[in-house]
Amino acid sequence: MCRTKGQLSASSPGAISSVVAPVLLKFRVCRPRLLLAGSRAEVDPAADVALLHGEVLLIEDSARQYDAIGDTDRRYRATEKLLHAEEEYHETLCSAKELYARPLARSYPEFHDVIFQPFADLSRISAELCQRVLQEMALMSVLSKTFQSQLLFNTA
């Protein structure tokens, strides 16, 4: 993971994508994902640069690294993909809390729990699911490696 800070300057009107393009090329980002640093809310690359004034923009490469086990075990690869999708969903739920729940709590505290408690519950369940899937994948990995080593020793 590469962490680099830099300041980009741009003038409106102009798309965010045109400002970040040189950075993407420099760091060879294959599948860019633009996020606000505080909330981790996704940023539309086609949006005008004026929307980012005073904001910190994160650029992540959303190209996923997959375990080699998935090359031969389709169930493992499907589980990896499910985990990645669930992690993104969890991040989106947390982002909604940061972007909408906190400001609403300051302005209208009586509505906060009614509206956002289901999001908090979903976020907790999603995080628990990710943990369980990670544990199962670790077990699948150990079993796969054990099975492969047994095959190597039994073929003699």
For 3, the token pair is 């962490």
Tell me the sheet residues that pair with 15: 48
What pLDDT, in 10s, does the model give residues 81-121?
A: 898 889 888 888 877 777 777 777 778 888 777 888 888 88
CA nearest to 56, candidates 1, 4, 2: 4
Question: In which residue are the tokens 């544990």 written?
Answer: 135
What pLDDT, in 10s, does the model give residues 15-51?
A: 888 888 888 888 888 788 888 887 778 888 888 888 8
Q: What is the pLDDT of residue 128?
A: 93
Cβ neighbours, 10 Å, residue 90: 19
The distance in angstroms from the start CA to the end CA of the chain is 42
